[in-house]
Amino acid sequence: MMQADLTSISWLSLAIWLPVLSGILVLLLGGDHKATLTRWLALAGSLASFLVTVPLYTLYDVQDGFFQFEELLPWIPAFNIHYHLGIDGFSLPLVLLTSFTTVIVVLAGWEVITKHVAQYMAAFLIMSGIMIGVFTALDAMLYYVFWEAMLIPMFLVIGIWGGPNRVYATVKFFLYTLLGSLLMLVAFIYLYHQTGSFELADYYLLPLSMQAQIYIFIAFFMAFAVKIPMWPVHTWLPDAHVEAPTGGSVVLAAIALKLGGYSFLRFAMPIAPDASHYFSAAMVALSLIAVVYIALVALVQKDMKKLIAYSSISHMGFVTLGFFMFSQLALEGAVMQMISHGFISSAMFLCVGVLYDRVHSREISAYGGVVNKMPVFAAFAVLFAMANSGLPGTSGFVGEFMVILAAVKFNFWVAFFAATTLIFGAAYTLWMTKRVFFGDVANHHVAELLDLNKREFLILGILAILVIGFGVYPQPITEVMQATSIEFLKHMAISKLPVTGY
Amino acid sequence: MTIKQILILIPLLPLFAAALVGIFRNYLPRWAAHVLTIAGVGAAFVLSVYIFNQTLSGFTLNEAVYTWLNSGDVHFEVGFLIDNLSAMMMVVVTFVSLMVHIYTIGYMEEDPGYSRFFSYISLFTFSMLMLVMSNNFMQLFFGWEAVGLVSYLLIGFWFTRPTAIYANLKAFLVNRVGDFGFLLGIGMVLYYFGNLDYATVFQRAPELAEVQVNLLGSSSWSLMTVTCLLLFVGAMGKSAQVPLHVWLPDSMEGPTPISALIHAATMVTAGIFMVARMSPLYELSTTALSTVMVIGAITALFMGFLGIIQNDIKRVVAYSTLSQLGYMTVALGASAYSVAIFHLMTHAFFKALLFLGAGSVIMGMHHDQDIRNMGNLKKYLPITWITSLIGSLALIGTPFFSGFYSKDSIIEAVELSHIPGSGFAYFAVIVGVFVTAFYSFRLYFLVFHGEEKWRHAKHDDHAHAAHVDAPRDDGHHDDHAHDDAHHHGLGPNDNPHEPGWVVTLPLVLLAIPSLVIGYIALEPMVFGDFFRSVIFVNPEAHPAMEHLAHHYHEFMHSPAGMAIHGFTSLPFILAASGVLLSWFFYMKRPDIPAAIKARFIVIYNILDNKYGFDSFNEKFFAGGSRCLGNLLWKFGDIMLIDGAMVNGAANTMGKIAARLRNLQSGLIYHYAFAMIIGVFLLMTFFIKIN
């Protein structure tokens, strides 16, 4: 009985609209003069929004590789557009990651944001709902609306609460993403003309000529590669991160990048499977460039946020690498890498935030010997640095390990270059750790530092538990994606080229 | 309690102690730090001994504890493989760790990081146990990297010292280079064997012995050779084999107890343990074994030479560790896996003893580590003196001491081996015996005998007098000239004192096995059945071990017989002449070494620069990566992508927009003209189509 009642609730709609409504509520009721109320309201909203996503996990049927929790309503009947939602094993962990990260972001901005508190909190709550919309939409137009809508709160976050060079960063971000998205829209319209619907399932079954698949793949690639970002369309990310406030960086790294990765799995690859195979060598090459080239660039960064941003790009290289080797181990490793990177990059940016709030500098050279004054914080920072270097026992290891092992089977030299992350990843992360945290107290700013307060301890503590927890026992995450990845690979193995009788 | 629960408790007890002490170190009293961790490690030791006893009566276990993750038909599990090899390692690890825990109470007494230190060494014990107890490659890699993490934390324990935090970063990165190969090796295993469980892999190995793989172009390689060499790269990192040895001497920046535990007795032997564990794979590739042997021989010989010119007491012992690890690796190459493990065990005891003895000397000398300021300490530190002498005698392979049995077996095994490279390896290990004896007793004589040199060393400045005024100051003493907090040195009128029982008790307890363990364990471990079901040797391809056993039963009959025979053998003669020569040089005629040094300054400089490995790595790899990174960033990202493409596109857009703006002139006839042209074009288009 209870089970039946629970499954009849529209969990996905709740997951999308509860944070959006909470965001609106915060806007209406909150304000700078009642900042405390605003914060608690935002926290309550984000916690409630997180809680409604938990049943998605507990009620999810891990044996079923197809969409679950589906909701289907007509939206714009004239164009056959539907409000169609559903999740599978790839989107489920990402939805949970999104709702969880929003709680962290609200907590992270607690005392730090004093200007336009209500707008800040509301932006993140609304953004959270929209991003869950991207992860759950099964109608191309609905997806596209969410995809584009997500940019607005992100622009506001960087543009209002960002650093001094924020205008350049937002414009760059805007130009990059817009160019890609427009091509994606063209692809959707083409597919609409072919099928008469925006239904994703129809696209999956639509036979397409190789040429059409190649165009479609390229159009999607332009949209998604920018978002992930892949080399060479990555240069917006470091600038955006540097200018964004801590919360913005966290959302950007933890979730926004995953929109691109997820969309490859949801659109580009299953709609154009033959083109995906056709481009796989190129995609693998671009991923390896991301892993090696970007890691070397990360090594010489002087700004902590830039360094972590480059490190994100390098880690996302494993995601695309895993996608385009077409094996279950690689695929699940790639999704695992997305989730784990969500925790670790959040934690790294939060650590920079902790220092920035106190000293107001992101330069590595402005620090040194922080451990002397902030031992508890340094312990967390070293833990997350190790996770970022992919140490076994942390979640950062799992995805990389799976992808590298799968790569040996794909091609030894691909694995060879991918595995250099063991060296470079450790080099840039630990070298930064050394310069910032170890050594003697470098200057009077460092000498005046105070260790973590309770709120910061709570945030980093939760993330630390997750990073270690999923490193020691990743099965809860991989188990939900098993059936889906099997179905996905089955689908990818079937050619969509029209059968022609020559 | 079932035996499986006991096995789970063995690594978890030290882990819990480490977590408890680490997290609550600010709330727990100081004594709780050592009581809790010693209780954890002590219990793990007792339980390990129990398990060891079980295995002696034939108990083995290979069982998963939990599923880490499943992906398709690949299953990653965390589990234990308990047999004679892992049980022996567990006992050695927990015993040495327990000794070091007790010793630390004295050594770290005044350190503000007291609790943190205990937390780390307990965490290390957990990691090392996970490594040796593992039944699959995934968990092996976990333990492998986890011990690397703790090593990183402990080398950089005094995190305000620039050299310490340089050394720990270097250690971690060099180990990562090894792990890079190791991970690829694991990838090869998973690809070709379809599984990461030892048992399955070893069972399938013979079927795959002939498989060839193409890596570069059309040249094909034996799968086993490639896999074994990749795995061995990992062992080279962890067990500090040339050229990945560079991190170990620098790791001496860490406190002495961990030099004993991690950088001598246990962690650095992980590579040896791994290769022995993988014997069913290595036996299938003579090429891999040859490589292993040659690398080990190079390490054994050339690292020994470096020990001769060191003046820092810990660094002498560190280079001797490198050299002894080379010996073990040579034994592996000769297919004498059981001998390598035997030497691993004896070495764990006597080297931990030597390091802890060195630590006791350092405490007595008030943290002066320069052996040129010591002398005649036998008078002041009698227990340290006797135990260090036992350790040194064991190290140089004096008959009846533990080191004799293991080292002599290695030398004979190499002599009997006929794989390519064994000739060079035999030369290296034989010369190594002389070198080892020479530098070990140079240290021993300079520290414990002769005149009390600290009484003459200038100490006006007290802090770093020993280093600044040292006559042969040549650069690498700035290594320790900075840490005034720990380097006091003795005043001319001070007398050194032996530290308390917490320091001397572990010395005595380690001296006992250093004396007798070789005599006891030789027959079962090397010539008996102890490792029969664990270590696989292919007697047709690699008969050295069989010949060795035959030789032993024919001529030696018993450990005592072997020792007596040892007195007339070449290694003993070489060792004795090494001792004699060092006595002559450093006790009788101290002017000779100085003269030799002046005469052969070129060789001295090569040795002093450690053959140039460090400066090459620093310039080529570290500098090269930074240079390349800067190039890619400034040229690739900023100039090409951002400059030419992104901002270029934006500028072009701006220019086009400016042109387009001119079109919107506001004049009706311009628009009308454009419309007419447009209509005309559209009409043409439709007519064409129709």
Does one domain contain both B649 and B537?
no
pLDDT digits (tens, 9 = 90+) for B631-643: 888 887 877 777 7
Residue in chain A lying closest to B65 (CA): A473
User: Chain B within 8 Å of A65 (Cβ-Cβ)?
Assistant: no
Last residue of a domain, one of B548, B573, B588: B588
**Which pLDDT belongs to residue A352?**
93
User: Chain B within 8 Å of A409 (Cβ-Cβ)?
Assistant: yes
Q: Do A422 and B176 touch (CB under 8 A)?
A: yes
Q: Tell me which residue range forms the domain holding A309.
A: 272-492
Residue A75 lies in a domain: no
Q: What percentage of chain B reaches a pLDDT higher than 90?
A: 44
Residue A79 neighbours by CB distance under 10 Å: 12
Residue B47: pLDDT over 70: yes
Residue B503 lies in a domain: yes
Residue A407 lies in a domain: yes
Q: How confident is the model at residue B464 (pLDDT cuts 50, 70, 90)?
A: very low
Q: What is the pTM of this model?
A: 0.90
Does one domain contain both B638 and B507?
no
Q: From the list A297, A415, A479, which residue is nearest B632 (CB)?
A: A297
Q: Do A478 and B69 touch (CB under 8 A)?
A: yes
Q: What percentage of chain B reaches a pLDDT higher than 70?
A: 93
Residue A295 lies in a domain: yes
Residue B466: pLDDT over 60: no
Residue A151: pLDDT over 70: yes
pLDDT averaged over chain B? 86
Q: Are B41 and B48 in contact (CB under 8 A)?
A: no
Q: Do B629 and A298 touch (CB under 8 A)?
A: yes
Residue B644 lies in a domain: yes
SS3 (DSSP) at B49: helix
Does one domain contain both B576 and B635?
no
> How far apart are the C-alpha atoms of B503 and B383, rounded to whole Å?
10
Q: Tell me which residue range forms the domain holding B105.
A: 3-455+491-588
**Which pLDDT belongs to residue B355?**
92
Distances B32 to A188, A269, B35, B100, B439 between C-alpha atoms, Å = 66, 58, 5, 17, 41
pLDDT digits (tens, 9 = 90+) for A7-39: 678 889 989 999 999 999 988 887 778 888 888
**Which pLDDT belongs to residue B472?**
37
Residue A200 lies in a domain: no
**Which pLDDT belongs to residue A389?**
93
pLDDT digits (tens, 9 = 90+) for B279-292: 999 999 889 999 99
Chain A interface test: which of B8, B179, B229, B633 (most A C-beta within 10 Å) = B633
φ/ψ region of A303 (left if φ > 0, alpha if ψ in -120 to 50, else beta) reads beta
Number of domains in chain A: 1
Residue B472 lies in a domain: no
Does one domain contain both B216 and B347?
yes
Q: How confident is the model at residue B214 (pLDDT cuts 50, 70, 90)?
A: confident
Does one domain contain both B512 and B656?
no
Does one domain contain both B190 and B331?
yes
Does one domain contain both B540 and B623?
no
Distance from CA of B68 to the nearest CA of A (A): 5
Spatial CB neighbours of B598, under 8 Å, sequence gap ≥ 6: none
Does one domain contain both B195 and B299?
yes
**Which pLDDT belongs to residue B219?**
77
> How far apart are the C-alpha atoms of B489 and B361, rounded to whole Å?
11
Q: How confident is the model at residue B601 (pLDDT cuts 50, 70, 90)?
A: confident
Residue B601 lies in a domain: no
Q: Sort B658 into a burial class: Cβ within 10 Å, 0-12 / 13-18 / 19+.
A: exposed
Residue A405's nearest CA partner among B137, B366, B404, B187 is: B187
Distance from CA of A4 to the nearest CA of B (A): 30
User: Chain B within 8 Å of A480 (Cβ-Cβ)?
Assistant: no
Q: What is this model's ipTM?
A: 0.91
Distances A309 to A153, A170, A263, A266, B453 between C-alpha atoms, Å = 20, 16, 21, 25, 57
**Which pLDDT belongs to residue B690?**
64
Residue B88: pLDDT over 80: yes
Give the mean model confidence (pLDDT) for residues A400-411: 92
Residue B648: pLDDT over 80: no
Does one domain contain both B579 and B644?
no
**Which pLDDT belongs to residue A500?**
56
Q: Do A416 and B156 touch (CB under 8 A)?
A: no
Q: Do B186 and A415 touch (CB under 8 A)?
A: no
Q: How confident is the model at residue A341 (pLDDT cuts 50, 70, 90)?
A: very high
Distance from CA of A169 to the nearest CA of B (A): 12
pLDDT averaged over chain A? 90
Does one domain contain both B552 and B444?
yes
Give the mean model confidence (pLDDT) for residues A400-416: 92
Last residue of a domain, one of B588, B606, B624: B588
Spatial CB neighbours of A390, under 8 Å, sequence gap ≥ 6: A396, A397, A400, A401, A421, A422, A425, A426
Chain A interface test: which of B15, B24, B68, B69 (most A C-beta within 10 Å) = B69
Residue B467: pLDDT over 80: no
**Which pLDDT belongs to residue A80?**
87
Residue A265: pLDDT over 80: yes
Residue B468: pLDDT over 60: no
> How far apart are the C-alpha atoms of A369 and B160, rounded to whole Å?
7
Take residue B145 and report the two structure tokens written for it. 């990297």
Does one domain contain both B506 and B648?
no
Number of domains in chain B: 2
Interface of A with B in 340-379 (CB under 8 A): 369, 371-372
Residue B465 lies in a domain: no
Does one domain contain both B526 and B432?
yes
Residue B399: pLDDT over 50: yes
Q: From the list B141, B184, B637, which residue is nearest A392 (CB)?
A: B141
Q: Do B187 and A408 touch (CB under 8 A)?
A: yes
Residue A3: pLDDT over 60: no
pLDDT digits (tens, 9 = 90+) for A431-454: 999 999 998 888 888 888 888 899
pLDDT digits (tens, 9 = 90+) for A205-246: 888 888 889 999 999 998 899 888 888 888 888 888 888 889
SS3 (DSSP) at B610: helix
CA angle A401, B132, B70 (to 5 degrees): 35
Residue A15 lies in a domain: no
User: Chain B within 8 Å of A502 (Cβ-Cβ)?
Assistant: no
Residue A476 lies in a domain: yes
pLDDT digits (tens, 9 = 90+) for B249-273: 889 988 999 999 888 888 999 999 9
Distance from CA of B435 to the nearest CA of A (A): 35
